[in-house]
Amino acid sequence: MTINTQNDSTADIIEYALRLGDDSLILGHRLSEWASNGPFLEEDIALGNVALDYLGRARMYYTYAAELSGEGKTEDDYAYLRDERDFSNHLLNELPKGDFAYTIVRQLFIDVFNALYLPLLQQSADENLAAIASKSIKETRYHLRRSQDWCIRLGDGTEESHQRMQKSLGELWGYVHELFEQDALEDRLIEQDIAVDSSGLKDKWLAQITETLNKATLAVPDAEWAVRGGRKGYHTEHLGHLLSVMQSVHRRYPGAKW
Amino acid sequence: MTINTQNDSTADIIEYALRLGDDSLILGHRLSEWASNGPFLEEDIALGNVALDYLGRARMYYTYAAELSGEGKTEDDYAYLRDERDFSNHLLNELPKGDFAYTIVRQLFIDVFNALYLPLLQQSADENLAAIASKSIKETRYHLRRSQDWCIRLGDGTEESHQRMQKSLGELWGYVHELFEQDALEDRLIEQDIAVDSSGLKDKWLAQITETLNKATLAVPDAEWAVRGGRKGYHTEHLGHLLSVMQSVHRRYPGAKW
Amino acid sequence: MSTNEQSLETTFQNKIDSELKIEPKDWMPDAYRKNLVRQISQHAHSEVIGEQPEGNWITRAPSLRRKAVLLAKVQDEAGHGLYLYSAAETLGVSRAEMIEALQTGKAKYASIFNYPTQTWGDIGAIGWLVDGAAICNQVSLQRTSYGPYARSMIRICKEESFHQRQGYQIMIELAKGTPEQKQLAQDSLNRFYWPSLMMFGPHDSESAHSAKSMKWKIKRETNDDLRQKFIDQTVPQIEFLGLEHPDKALKWNEKRGHYDSGEIDWEEFYNVINGNGHCNRQRIEHHVKAHEEGAWVRDAQNAYNAKVKQRQAQAVA
Amino acid sequence: MSTNEQSLETTFQNKIDSELKIEPKDWMPDAYRKNLVRQISQHAHSEVIGEQPEGNWITRAPSLRRKAVLLAKVQDEAGHGLYLYSAAETLGVSRAEMIEALQTGKAKYASIFNYPTQTWGDIGAIGWLVDGAAICNQVSLQRTSYGPYARSMIRICKEESFHQRQGYQIMIELAKGTPEQKQLAQDSLNRFYWPSLMMFGPHDSESAHSAKSMKWKIKRETNDDLRQKFIDQTVPQIEFLGLEHPDKALKWNEKRGHYDSGEIDWEEFYNVINGNGHCNRQRIEHHVKAHEEGAWVRDAQNAYNAKVKQRQAQAVA
């Protein structure tokens, strides 16, 4: 890992790891809100599993960032002591949990994305990022099967479930575009074979989503709107409320160990 | 105000002022959640007015407690730097805002109570508490007229509004009992003519509530349940969430001025 | 156009030219009425939707004083909405119709409210910059030709200046506070400065409604003139706060007696207007949700009022 | 009772007396079946309702590690609910019927979950004390006479001991932490100690179901014996934490080889059971709400499954 000896790259990698960590933490947090709220017990358990997987990834990414920073930081410093403007997750992850259809559509979008993204991250020149990707790929395959199955069941279920799915597709569509966009920092890391170039994944992503939606008798939205800004800390008003709850106890007792 | 020179009484009065302040702050906070959520603009404004009145009372009670404490405290220390277990508001005030019927029923219960309580507090041997009560009585008369009017309109409105009101009455009834209960601290202050003896107010309260509900074609609940504990800091799970939001920014920047 | 209409229109324009107010019962051209309904209702909707981004921080305001001030401000906005709906109603459109137009996207509201409030600093920046920009506009509208609108504006302007001072006070506390607080102030200034300039609308050369509105004195000053006023007044305010000006191209032009400034990112402006702001959907959904949740209350009130009327009628009979 | 039934009942009781398990297809007295359904479903409901007080802190857990552990624990509880519903279903009652009984108040759940979780310390105290008390009970139920229930208990006990250790770990961190953290620990201990003792139910002399349950070996130890075990094991744990014991009357009784303890406030016990706990209404309302919000999902799943069946049938035909 010669790259880590270069200071500039290190700062970039820390930031990149935090981005991926933030995506995981915030989505995991939203999924965890389903505890005791699922449509039946099996789903309380399954959604809890997915939430745990994302929480686990967040911890790995943050821990790696903390190691690189060499400032004695811990995973918790990143989760609990940064502000809304410091979080760099994609907006899609921070939107409220919504109803079950909304949660399933978001998961489908993200699972298809991760199923394309993680195998490339597994090839990263950064061994640590590659290792995290390796651990996550299997989980994502399971998540994806679940999302696809649910999408088909709900799309091709009752009229109500079909409508709810179609509505959620419409509401979430504008948030997918930023998944495939990169800034200068990621461009630098792509050049070093560290970060994944996701701009090339959009066609494949759309093809797979289309296939699943077709099976589910659902229409692919054609709306043109796009909202972006997560990577720059430019968030919707939902994230602030999530953080004020999430960080409340930790911030209340500065320096305490748990 | 000779009483304030006695140390024991001072501690009691501080605690008593905090109790009244907590009742006001927490209820005001709940009412403030109606901003932009009312059934029409006039109600956004009216509910905002009531919220502001309660917020104003909280500030007066806290400021008085801070003065008595002589520790350089401010109103904000009490609002922002105490924990759930330190808050001593009656549980009725902390319950979520619910629908409009729920909010109106709670207000009716509390406005009738305050319309009986404040005139007695105005007679307090503690001039400061008496002065706060004086300022509040006029507001409460306006609040009470509003609550009674709405109660009658909604009770005697449509079948849906009648049912919603009756349901809210049932859900809130068990929380009124602790309004009329006192502990040793308040007993001591009652003996010194400082605190109000609310135990004697229940019959009048019930008579007035009954009168309004009769006009509203609503039934007085006869349920026997009673939940209590607010004065001891023994709260429902709703208060913690309210506080984690309310205190988030203040606690985030320790020592900052706003 | 008939001779009669021509003469009516002449009288109408003369009145306007002599700085007399047009009142609800006066004759007015259809296009004047339409233009006004559009503008006043858009203004009303802006006040109402404006409750949301600021309301977002009522429960988190960092001191009780600020909480009370913010709550009162949001309440004032609801009040402004009310005056303005009433002013528009004098032109023959009902509040229900206007709300329907808002919820279906036919009527607009100020695009600034599609930007999210992310920090407490944003509450300061909105009061200072957004209300400040609104005031520049509204001060000139106190002399607008339609009486009820002009009178609403006089009332609203007083409260808005108050709000602006409160917003600036928040900024002062932040800018003179801890380094972290100052950072909050700078960040909010950076995010809200340009959108505030956009509030004045497109350049005069691009503005669809401007010429006619000027002739009818619905508008009294052009977008660019008002914007220039705002730019000029904001410079010393930023200096006083000790913050960096977000416009790096800003420069005093001795000859014009004004500041020259960098170009606005109009692509972003149209982007947000066209639905790509963070909050476009959220704002309307929130409004629809509150409105729908309140339907049973409005129904109950109507039902009760009808009952009372009936009872009174029976008592008389 | 017919001769046949008598002989069946004798065989049944002999089986139990010889420590053989009763299995779903075996003959069993109606009262045994009813008693078991009541107990197992109550146990299942307790696991499910137990998701709520702990779930209340998932979003606020003070470290990522604790968040993950808590989330996994709440998930385990849902899992325990599942095993137990399945065990009860072997007795001829459906999950839907049991849920209905819970929601209408016909079936009970452990009253401990009507106490609110007010602080993070409560998550420690619940894991340590509530799960600890539950384990005392469940360990003895591993030998209960009904096979499916006994096997569920074996599986559940393993996970519960894990949960108890995790809860105690939270308490250790708090008790050995800052003074404020230690205060959290003491406060949670104070609030949850007595309710944990109440979990074992009324004194044996007052217990309605005990005698029969003991004879049928549904219960293997009495309420008071299990409670004594728990009291005894908790004393050194409190000492290790360096916290004050909430029972001021607690005293070692050399002769009995057990701790004597103060009397439980049974008035509070019945008070909470009878609906005066902070959360009785909230817990059921929450359950009903989640269940109702999920109705369309369950319907959709059924509709989809029916479609698939129909398509398969058509493909075959």
> What are the C-alpha distances in Å from A199 to residues B49, B54, B177, C52, C195?
52, 54, 63, 35, 29
Say if the Cβ atoms of C67 and B248 lie within 8 Å: no
Mutate to test the interface with A, among D297, D301, D307 (most CBs of A within 10 A): D297
A231 touches chain D (CB under 8 A): no
Say if the Cβ atoms of A85 and C56 lie within 8 Å: no
What is the spatial distance between Cα A120 and Cα D271, in angstroms, rounded to a whole number? 60
What is the spatial distance between Cα A53 and Cα A143, in angstroms, rounded to a whole number? 10
Which of A55, A68, A89 lies closest to D64, judged by CA?
Answer: A55
Q: DSSP code of C114?
A: G
Measure the CA angle with vertex A184, ends A179 and A187; round to 5°. Answer: 70
- Cite the beta strand spans of chain B per DSSP E: none
pLDDT bucket at B192, cuts 50 / 70 / 90: very high
Amino acid (one-letter) located at C273: I
* Mean pLDDT, rounded, for C39-50: 97
Residues 171-190 of D with CB under 8 A from A: 173, 177-178, 180-181
How many CB contacts within 8 angstroms connect chain A with chain C? 41
C3 touches chain B (CB under 8 A): no
Measured in angstroms, the CA of B205 and the nearest CA of chain C are apart by: 26
Measured in angstroms, the CA of B184 and the nearest CA of chain D are apart by: 20
Amino acid (one-letter) located at D22: I
Smallest Cβ–Cβ distance between B244 and the set A83, A245, A254 belongs to A245
What is the spatial distance between Cα A194 and Cα A127, in angstroms, rounded to a whole number? 9
Which of D196, D195, D137, D132 lies closest to D164, judged by CA?
Answer: D132
> What are the C-alpha distances in Å from C116 to residues B129, B165, C22, D11?
42, 36, 38, 74
B245 touches chain A (CB under 8 A): yes
Q: What is the pLDDT of residue D206?
A: 82
Say if the Cβ atoms of A252 and B248 lie within 8 Å: no
Q: Dihedrals φ, ψ of B254, to 5°?
A: -60, 135
> What are the C-alpha distances in Å from C156 to residues C21, C77, C93?
18, 9, 21
A90 touches chain C (CB under 8 A): no
What is the spatial distance between Cα B51 and Cα C158, in angstroms, rounded to a whole number? 23
A83 touches chain B (CB under 8 A): yes
Measure the CA angle with vertex D177, ends D174 and D179; round to 5°. Answer: 95
Chain C hits for A84, Cβ within 8 Å: 118-119
Q: What is the pLDDT of residue A7?
A: 62
Compute the residue count for chain A.
258
Mutate to test the interface with A, among B81, B238, B252 (most CBs of A within 10 A): B252
Residue A234: both structure tokens together: 């430019």
CA D34 from centroid of its chain's CA atoms: 18
Residue A236, sorted as left (phi over 0), alpha (psi -120 to 50) or beta, turns out to be beta
Chain D hits for A99, Cβ within 8 Å: 293
Say if the Cβ atoms of C71 and B62 lie within 8 Å: no
Residue B193, sorted as left (phi over 0), alpha (psi -120 to 50) or beta, turns out to be left
pLDDT bucket at B7, cuts 50 / 70 / 90: low
A226 touches chain C (CB under 8 A): yes
Residue D145, sorted as left (phi over 0), alpha (psi -120 to 50) or beta, turns out to be alpha
Residue A209: both structure tokens together: 């989503």
Q: Which residue of D has its CA nearest to B172?
A: D281
Q: What is the pLDDT of residue D214?
A: 87
Residues 6 or more apart from C14 whose CB is under 8 A from it?
none
Measured in angstroms, the CA of D82 and the nearest CA of chain B are apart by: 26
Q: What is the pLDDT of residue A154?
A: 98
**Bridge partners of C65?**
none
Question: In terms of C-beta distances under 8 Å and separation of at least 24 residues, what long-range contacts does D150-158 make, across chains too?
Answer: D150/D21, D151/D87, D152/D80, D152/D83, D152/D84, D152/D86, D152/D87, D155/D83, D156/D80, D156/D83, D156/D84
Q: Dihedrals φ, ψ of D253, to 5°?
A: -110, 105
Compute the residue count for chain D.
317
D78 touches chain A (CB under 8 A): yes
Matching residue, tokens 């505030």: C196
Physical contact, B and A (3 or more Cβ pairs within 8 A): yes
**Dihedral over Cα of C239, C244, C247, C251: its sign:** positive
Whether residue A214 has pLDDT greater than 90? yes
C278 touches chain B (CB under 8 A): no
Chain B hits for C58, Cβ within 8 Å: 32-33, 35
A80 touches chain D (CB under 8 A): yes
Q: How many other C-beta atoms can be found within 10 angstroms of the C-beta atom of residue B99?
A: 16
Q: Which residue of C has its CA nearest to A234?
A: C118
Q: What is the pLDDT along chain D (317 residues), one digit of tens a residue?
A: 678 888 999 999 999 999 999 999 999 999 999 999 999 999 999 999 999 999 999 999 999 999 999 999 999 999 999 999 999 999 999 999 999 999 999 999 999 999 999 999 999 999 999 999 999 999 989 999 999 999 999 999 999 999 999 999 999 999 999 999 999 999 999 999 999 999 999 998 887 667 888 889 988 899 999 999 999 999 999 999 999 999 999 999 999 999 999 999 999 889 998 889 999 999 999 999 999 999 999 999 999 999 999 999 998 87
Chain C hits for B25, Cβ within 8 Å: 64
Amino acid (one-letter) located at C280: N
Rounded to the nearest integer, the mean pLDDT of chain C is 95
Smallest Cβ–Cβ distance between A225 and the set C116, C276, C282 belongs to C276
What domains can be seen in chain A, in order of their start residue?
A: 8-252 (1.20.1260.10)
- Cite the beta strand spans of chain C per DSSP E: 251-253, 258-260
Measure the CA angle with vertex B91, ends B89 and B95; round to 5°. Answer: 115
* Mean pLDDT, rounded, for A87-108: 98
Measured in angstroms, the CA of B253 and the nearest CA of chain C are apart by: 8
What is the spatial distance between Cα C116 and Cα C126, in angstroms, rounded to a whole number? 11
How many CB contacts within 8 angstroms connect chain B with chain D? 41
* pTM of the shown model: 0.95
Chain A hits for B241, Cβ within 8 Å: 245
Question: In terms of C-beta distances under 8 Å and separation of at least 24 residues, what long-range contacts does A207-212 make, across chains too?
Answer: A208/A112, A208/A116, A209/A108, A209/A109, A209/A112, A212/A108, A212/A112, A212/A148, A212/A151, A212/A152
What is the spatial distance between Cα A151 and Cα A145, in angstroms, rounded to a whole number? 10
ipTM, two decimals = 0.95
Say if the Cβ atoms of A55 and D290 lie within 8 Å: no
Residues 6 or more apart from D206 whose CB is under 8 A from it?
none
Which of A43, A212, A64, A208 lies closest to A135, judged by CA?
Answer: A64
D117 touches chain B (CB under 8 A): yes
Q: Give residue-wise pLDDT tens across range C255-308.
A: 999 999 999 999 988 999 888 999 999 999 999 999 999 999 999 999 999 999
Chain A hits for D303, Cβ within 8 Å: 157-158, 161
Say if the Cβ atoms of A36 and D293 lie within 8 Å: no
Residue C275, sorted as left (phi over 0), alpha (psi -120 to 50) or beta, turns out to be left
Buried b (16+ CB within 10 A) or exposed e, D222-232: bbbebbbbbbe
Measured in angstroms, the CA of D6 and the nearest CA of chain B are apart by: 46
Smallest Cβ–Cβ distance between D187 and the set B85, B226, B244 belongs to B85
Say if the Cβ atoms of A249 and D180 lie within 8 Å: no
What is the spatial distance between Cα D40 and Cα D32, in angstroms, rounded to a whole number? 12
Say if the Cβ atoms of A225 and C60 lie within 8 Å: no
Q: Which residue of C has its CA nearest to B217?
A: C304
Q: Give residue-wise pLDDT tens across range A162-193.
A: 999 999 999 999 999 999 999 999 999 999 99
A234 touches chain C (CB under 8 A): yes
Q: What is the pLDDT of residue C237?
A: 98
Physical contact, D and C (3 or more Cβ pairs within 8 A): no
For chain D, give the secondary structure using H, E and C.
CCHHHHHHHHHHHHHHHCCCCECCCCCCCHHHHHHHHHHHHHHHHHHHHHHHHHHCCHHHCCCHHHHHHHHHHHHHHHHHHHHHHHHHHCCCCCHHHHHHHHHCCCCCCCHHHHCCCCCHHHHHHHHHHHHHHHHHHHHHHCCCCEHHHHHHHHHHHHHHHHHHHHHHHHHHHHHCCCHHHHHHHHHHHHHHHHHHHHCCCCCHHHCCCHHHHHHCCCCCCCHHHHHHHHHHHHHHHHHHHCCCCCCCCCEEECCCCEEECCCCCHHHHHHHHHHHCCCHHHHHHHHHHHHHHCHHHHHHHHHHHHHHHHHHHHHHC
What is the spatial distance between Cα B178 and Cα B173, in angstroms, rounded to a whole number? 11
Contact indicator for C150, C141 with CB cutoff of 8 Å: yes
Q: What is the pLDDT of residue A2?
A: 41
Mutate to test the interface with B, among D274, D278, D289 (most CBs of B within 10 A): D278
Say if the Cβ atoms of D278 and B240 lie within 8 Å: no
Which of B229, B225, B232 lies closest to B18, judged by CA?
Answer: B232
Q: Give residue-wise pLDDT tens across range A58-92.
A: 999 999 999 999 989 999 999 999 999 999 999 99
Rounded to the nearest integer, the mean pLDDT of chain B is 96
Q: What is the pLDDT of residue D212?
A: 83
Residue A97: both structure tokens together: 């949990």
What is the spatial distance between Cα C111 and Cα C269, in angstroms, rounded to a whole number? 8
Say if the Cβ atoms of A244 and B244 lie within 8 Å: yes
Say if the Cβ atoms of B45 and C52 lie within 8 Å: no
Residue C204: both structure tokens together: 């005069």
Q: What is the pLDDT of residue C209?
A: 65
Residue A156: both structure tokens together: 């091709």
**Bridge partners of C146?**
C22
A220 touches chain C (CB under 8 A): no
Report the SS3 class of residue C253.
strand
What is the spatial distance between Cα A149 and Cα A168, in angstroms, rounded to a whole number? 16
Residues 167-206 of A with CB under 8 A from C: 171, 174
Residues 3-42 of B with CB under 8 A from C: 25, 29, 32-33, 35-42
Amino acid (one-letter) located at D250: L
Q: Give residue-wise pLDDT tens across range C234-266.
A: 999 999 999 999 999 999 999 999 999 999 999
Smallest Cβ–Cβ distance between B55 and the set C71, C78, C170 belongs to C71
pLDDT bucket at B4, cuts 50 / 70 / 90: very low
A75 touches chain D (CB under 8 A): yes
Which of A257, A144, A143, A249 lies closest to A205, judged by CA?
Answer: A144
Contact indicator for B144, B151 with CB cutoff of 8 Å: no
